[in-house]
Amino acid sequence: MNLKLTWKIWLWLAVLLFAIISLVNFPYLFQKGVLITSVEQNSTAFEQGLRTIDNGKSMVITAIDGKKIENVNDFSKIISEKFPSNENVKTAFIVNGKEYILYSKNAPEITVSEIKKTNLRTGLDLSGGARALVQAKDEKLTPEQVSDLVSVISNRFNVYGISDINVKPVTDLSGNNFILIEIAGATPRDLQGLISEQGKFEAKIGNETVFIGGMGGEKDVTSVGKTAQEARIESCNPSQEDYFCKFSFSVFLSEQAAERFAEATKDLEVNASSTGNFLSKSIDFYIDDNLVDSLTIAESLKGQVTTQVSISGTGLGKTEKEAYDSAIENMKHLQTILQTGSLPFKLEIVKLDTISPTLGEKFSRYIFIAAFAALFSVVVIIFIKYRKLKLAIPPLIIAASEIIITLGVAAFMKQDLDLPGIAGILAAIGTGIDDQIVMLDETKRKGETLSIKQRIKRAFGIVLGAYFTAFVSLLPLLWAGAGLLKGFAIMTLIGITFGVLVTRPAFADIIRKIEEKNASA
């Protein structure tokens, strides 16, 4: 098919090239290994220099103990075979061409993922995790209040060490404001634990509040200890039926909070005991008005302006490891509340979901198989109808290019691809095929005195009318279901818009060239 390229066809090819460049992650296209997504602070791996980013470049593990790592399964197999161990064992990581040596009894506290070959961001439906739709309890918030709440929630998750998270405000068709929270790789229990409570932290001596949670500005807490010296598991011991582990960490107070502590303790009596002399009242810690811990106050702190206090707690479990993990989790939770302060409103969970990445991958794979099967069927039908293969091939090429362009534009816009988004791509493909068949029918209509160019122009008028109708009908879906159908609307709008502006004009020129060539033959 020797066709002269018009500016419309050149535009189509240029947009297609732009989409491919936006879509493909060229630096990692042929990279083998696994991507480091998180490293536990104060761990052996962290101390030896393993990070998620090094000099602006993602850290990729390509080998462990001389064995090549090509995917997450390779990584998991080697680590599970080595750990846990009764004694410290050597593990040699090759990361970005450099060697990192770790000695540990337990598996390195890092998480990894497959290297992304594309720049397309997948939504929770495909990557797996937990999703919650929440709103303020018994209150209707303004958009400004929702925006503030999003900032506080995001800060709480970031402090807790969760990075792969999406927190955004959404609105339904009735004007109700919600917050959509999505965490890849998390469970509903993790998500519920972080948002179900307001997190109002208070330290009281008697009935007098000494300090409250929250850092920065005029807040009472200036810093929360997280280093090995400032935060630790002090002991783990068996009880009657299970184990308990005790944790403690330092909290650094502002001068104002320290002065309130001195004022609250200066008139307290001193009680003697076998373990030392302590003040007559303890310092009590409350979360959401529930007592979580009480500590005695040493005589030496009476009336003293102290800017450092120690907070402790426990974790319980059937085994010592369960108790240890529980203590770590409780300590992190308490540290997070002290750093971020309380949420400005009590929240209630409207909808809570867990999504399996396996289900999402299978579903998306089946959808794309069905899409290409449908395209092939269309080609067959067009060939049977017009008895010309060169008229059946262009719709297939154009439809395939529309998929690439839609995905490329979504990657450029950093739009997440979820299951509704995939459905939107299919809807756009269907619309595109309909438009192309309308154009083909117009060019092949017999008994017409109009030229090919005029008939294509008439067909394009029909296509434009259908486009504007679809565009307007899709707009409400941006807010329907509190934004859960937004992916469908956006991907469909991208597909049909670039179709009308780019691929349909190119297809029209291709068909016109073919018909003109046939007429002159």
Statement to judge: residues 252 and 272 lie in one domain: yes
Residue 282 domain-assigned (yes or no): yes
The pLDDT value given to residue 322: 85
High-pLDDT (> 70) share of the chain, %: 85
β-strands 60-64, 89-95: how paired?
antiparallel
Tell me which of 328, 343, 378 is where a domain ends: 328
Q: How far apart are CA 450 and CA 454, in angstroms?
A: 6
146 and 105 fall within a common domain = no
Q: How buried is 401 (Cβ within 10 angstroms: 0-12 exposed, 13-18 middle, 19+ buried)? A: buried
CA-based nearest residue to 262, from 217, 293, 300, 223? 300
Residue 2 placed within a domain: no
Whether 248 contacts 314, CB under 8 Å: no
pLDDT the model gives residue 447 = 62
Range of the domain at 498: 7-24+359-520
* Tally of domains in the chain: 4
The domain boundary residue, chosen from 328, 351, 379: 328
Cα dihedral across residues 381, 386, 387, 393: positive or negative: negative
User: Does pLDDT of 3 surpass 70?
Assistant: no
- Only one residue has tokens 């791509």, namely 425
Sign of CA dihedral 438, 439, 441, 447: positive
Same domain, 219 and 296: yes
Q: Which of 24-28, 157-161, 240-244, 411-415 has the lowest mean pLDDT?
A: 157-161
Q: What per-residue confidence (pLDDT) applies to 408?
A: 93
Q: What would the two tokens of residue 142 be? A: 């303004």
The string of pLDDT tens digits covering residues 249-293 is 888 888 888 999 999 999 899 888 776 788 888 888 887 777 877
Distances (CA, A) of 306 to 210, 254, 334: 12, 9, 21
For residue 186, the domain's CATH number is 3.30.70.3220
What CATH number is attached to the domain comprising 455?
1.20.1640.10
3-class DSSP assignment, residue 485? coil
Of the listed ranges 166-180, 201-215, 363-377, 488-502, the least confidently predicted one is 363-377
pLDDT in tens, 476-515: 888 765 567 888 999 999 999 999 999 999 999 888 888 7
Residues 410 and 393 in one domain: yes
Question: Can you give the pLDDT at residue 8?
Answer: 92
395 plus 511 within the same structural domain: yes
509 with 394, same domain: the answer is: yes
Is residue 460 included in any domain, yes or no?
yes
Q: What pLDDT was estimated at residue 125?
A: 67
Are both 217 and 290 inside the same structural domain? yes
Note whether residue 120 is domain-resident. Answer: no
* Same domain flag for 260 and 371: no
Q: What is the distance between the alpha carbons of residues 7 and 10, in angstroms, rounded to a whole number?
A: 5
CATH number of the domain at 89, please. Answer: 2.30.42.10
Mean pLDDT of 400-412: 92
pTM (two decimals): 0.62
129's CB contacts (< 8 A; 6+ apart) are 164, 182, 183, 184, 185, 186, 354, 355, 357
At which of 140, 164, 197 does a domain end? 197
Which of 207, 224, 222 is closest to 311 using CA atoms? 224
CB burial class (10 A; 0-12, 13-18, 19+) of residue 99? exposed
The mean-pLDDT minimum among 114-123, 396-405, 461-470 falls in 114-123
- Radius of gyration over alpha carbons of the chain, in Å? 31
> Do residues 190 and 210 share a domain?
no
Compute the C-alpha angle 316/322/327, nearest 5°: 55
Does the pLDDT at position 105 exceed 80?
A: yes
